[in-house]
Amino acid sequence: MQFTAKDIAALLGGKLEGNPSQAVTGIAKIEEASPSSLSFIGNPKYEQFAQTAHAGILLINETLVVKNDNIGAIIRVADPYASFTKLLELYQQMMTQSAHKGIQQPSYIGTDTTYGSDIFLGAFAYVGDKVTIGKNVKIYPGTFIGDGVRIGDGTVIHAGAKVYEGCTIGRDCVIHAGVVIGGDGFGFAPLPDGSFKKIPQLGIVEIGNNVEIGANTVIDRATLGATVIRDGVKLDNLIHIAHNVEIGENTVMAAQTGISGSTRVGRGVMIGGQVGIVGHIKIADGVKINAQSGVSKSIEEKNKGVTGSPAGDFREHYKGLAYVKRIPDLLKRIEDLEKSLLDKKS
């Protein structure tokens, strides 16, 4: 697939310098750019490469000075990173749309199931009864879609994902390989003899629009009602969301985080990797939780930053660390004072 500098500049609304007919067939990092590739500079620490790169097309900001005859064309935009992201999205859409369409065999589609135009269903996929699938949905090989599931337009479900019965997924979502949506929550009642009796998990999982869920992440169905992932949420790989949790709009969460049952996470929350959050608490909008923190009680202040285990205010945590570093010196001073007092007594 080939694109010219003129086409790309028009798409991004950028200012074109150099050869408008310069064509590229791929995308590369600035350090590895070739005459057939497009690259960009969005971070000032890479600006040095603008003078040495051999890119066919270079996407940069409006002020960077470039003196390099090895670049075929330059496109200047206000935000190179945002513009480059837009190009990547369009490139991915074109590649995906052109590569996969139709229903491969062997695959299974149950009774009373409906699907929209331009669907892709990969080989060995299973789609249960009374499933509703929107337009331009792509379901890759080896995927399981249970009875009564609803999937919105433009959603992509990658190989080996499992969506259990009754769950709903909005439009333009991306579900990566190995994700399990709607498995049973961890509900067991203790019995007098010390054993545990399973509590039936009768709820579902509701996923909003424009949600991305990373590989091997697990979202449990509710005991009753719904586990809810709202619009714009981005979940990394290897995350566990327990039963009846609610995640607010545009919250992002890094890998190996676990959230216990019935916790409510607000809008725009940022959660680092390996965070553990107990059940039945609330996290306010805009909270930032540092990696490897343990959250054991509700965070009610909006936009608060916390770290540590148990998690506490960023500033207080690092102030405490500063005091800890002083402990050896303080102990030495105490020992010197004790020795001085003993010398005076003797």
* Residues 184, 187, 188: CA angle, nearest 5 degrees: 130
To the nearest 10 degrees (0 to 180), the angle between helices 314-325 and 327-345 is 40
Question: What are residue 98's phi and psi, to 5 degrees?
Answer: -80, -25
Nearest to 304 by CA among 316, 296, 292: 316
Percentages of the chain per state (helix, strand, coil), in multiples of 5: 20, 30, 50
Residue appearing with tokens 């303080």? 330
Question: What are residue 253's phi and psi, to 5 degrees?
Answer: -145, 130
Give the C-alpha separation, 255 to 176, whole Å.
13
The yes-or-no answer on residue 240 being catalytic is no
Backbone φ/ψ region at 336: left (φ over 0), alpha (ψ -120 to 50), beta: alpha
Catalytic residue among 100, 243, 280, 317: 243
Question: How far, in Å, are 122, 152, 171, 224, 229 from residue 211 at the CA level?
Answer: 22, 11, 8, 23, 8
Query: What's the Rg (C-alpha) of the chain?
Result: 27
Give the C-alpha separation, 123 to 230, whole Å.
30
Give the C-alpha separation, 1 to 240, whole Å.
39
DSSP state string for 192-229: TTS-EEEPP---EEEE-SS-EE-TT-EEEPPSSSEEEE
Active site residues: 243
